[in-house]
Each structure stands twice: as structure tokens, then as C-alpha cells.
Structure 1
């Protein structure tokens, strides 16, 4: 039997943090329910930074002028289903500083089955029993909050 690698789907995601170093996560009901960072796949000809800003507008109603887009902090590769087809999604995670008052879910143009958004403290992120993606997010948030953002993107496994 021949196994093949699923088609590549490149994605950009944002680790959205406010001035109090809280991180914004979105809740989805699929697969038993989970929390995840905002983001999605790149459009034709789009780079990861541009896609990150577009996704924040589409999912959270954030004006890109209100976003301080920082460096890429991490990357992750994961095989999963999209639209009933298996893909290998390769995600790049960028730091995005945003004021909580600039989040306007009512202005979102593509809420993508988002059930809720919530600002999480580092303590809340570390102690929750809920599923949070990506695995390792709390350590990244802690490093950024302490002024120790990685110099090179870290590779996340979960």
C-alpha cells in the first residue's frame, strides 16, 4: 500500500496579546470543543504577515491599523481534515499586540464557527482543563510577557 503526504495548506496564526499580557483565544465546538489562536490559510499570492492581519479582521473585526504585528514566534505542522479532506497544515504564529477595545466580533466578516472569544491570563491558560491549541502556547506567552520572546521561531508539536 502506498501512502502519500496530504496536500500542503499554509496558514498564518496570531498570538494576540493585550497590554496586560493576556492572550485572546477563540472557542470552537468541533472535536469535543477547544480553544485556539485566531488565523487561517493564506490566499493566493499572500504572505504570512499579510494573512495574519487579514484573518484578525475577518475573525475579530480588528482594523489592521490597530494591530502591532510582531515577529514570528513559532511554527507547527499538523495533518487534519479541512472541508472533509486531509491536509498537512503548516502554521506560522506571529505576535500581535492589540488593545482589548479594538476587538469587535460584531464587525467580523468571517467568524468561521467561532463560538466565543475570551482573554486569558497566563495563570488561566496554565490551569485550564479545556483543550487549548497549540500545545506549548502558555510557555510562549510567558516568555513574551517576561521580555524573552524567542529569537528564532520555536517548533510546536501539538
Structure 2
């Protein structure tokens, strides 16, 4: 099993930060990536934000775990079950500096999305159901137990 940590990154205007990738026909996704040896999900999330967004951990507010998802896919030609964990993460838009990113990992674009735009887009966004999850958290607060997201 491959552990992956990610953040639902919101700014003070409750916009969601997504990253665009070209592979598999192109898609948008939350920041995140694989856990390193001995790393927990929260620590991995902060590291991934630093590596992909150029943030400073002191300016990131890491909140509750919001969701999890399991997915099978190919990694290096072999089938791997990936277990993903998503945290609510708050950061000022001004503190995101892709020029400081140490591992941009084929990221083609960064964009802050208003929830209305995220709900209305025809583009592929991962994880599926992200707009509904963020809306629920903003209205009701973080879930008592992480929401299980679809593939």
C-alpha cells in the first residue's frame, strides 16, 4: 500500500488551490504526494506544500483530517493500492510562491478556485467530490470522522 497525504488548501476567501497536470488527458488536483519513510500524514502534507507550492510551514495552518480515499493504479508498471489522506489546510494566497517550489513535479499551473467555479467546471478535478466536501466543511465544520471519497 502506498500512503499519500494531501491538503485541501483554502485561502482567507475560501478559494481552493488546485494544481494542473497534463498527463491522462489533463486534470486538476489538490497538492500532495507520497509519504517518505517514517513520516506521518500531517508531516507529509506540510512537506508536500513546501515542495510543490513554495510555502513556509510557519505560514500554513494544518487543520483536521477531512477525507480519505483508496485507489488502485499502476506505478512503474505494477498495480498499487494508494491510500490517500486529505487535511483542511489554510494558507494566505500571498504565501504561495511556486518559484520557491523545490519539486514542482510536472505541475503546469496553479489556480485559486471559487467554490462556484469548482462546482461548475467541466474539467476533471481530483479528488472527486472536492467542491461538495469543502462546502460541507465550511457550513458544518470538519467531520467527526474522515469522509470516504469515491475513486
Give the shorter-chain TM-score range.
over 0.9
1:147 and 1:64 map into 2 onto residues whose CA distance is 27
2:77 and 2:60 map into 1 onto residues whose CA distance is 33
2:77 and 2:52 map into 1 onto residues whose CA distance is 22
TM-aligned CA deviation for residue 132 of structure 1: 0.4
1:115 aligned onto 2:108: yes
1:41 aligned onto 2:34: yes
Residue number in structure 2 paired with 1:142: 135
**RMSD (Å), alpha carbons:** 0.9
Where does structure 1 differ by over 4 angstroms across 4 or more consecutive aligned residues? none
TM-aligned CA deviation for residue 39 of structure 1: 0.3
2:8 and 2:24 map into 1 onto residues whose CA distance is 22
- The Cα offsets for residues 7-27 of structure 1, whole Å up to 9 and x where unpaired, read as x10010000001110000000
2:41 and 2:61 map into 1 onto residues whose CA distance is 15
Residue number in structure 2 paired with 1:51: 44
TM-aligned CA deviation for residue 84 of structure 1: 3.5
Q: Find the partner of 2:57 among 51, 64, 76.
A: 64
Residue number in structure 2 paired with 1:77: 70
Q: Give me the TM-score of the superposition, normalised by structure 2.
A: 0.97
Unpaired runs of at least 5, structure 1: 1-7
SS at match of 1:139: helix
Q: Find the partner of 1:94 among 65, 87, 92.
A: 87
Larger Rg: 1
TM-aligned CA deviation for residue 140 of structure 1: 1.1
Unpaired runs of at least 5, structure 2: none
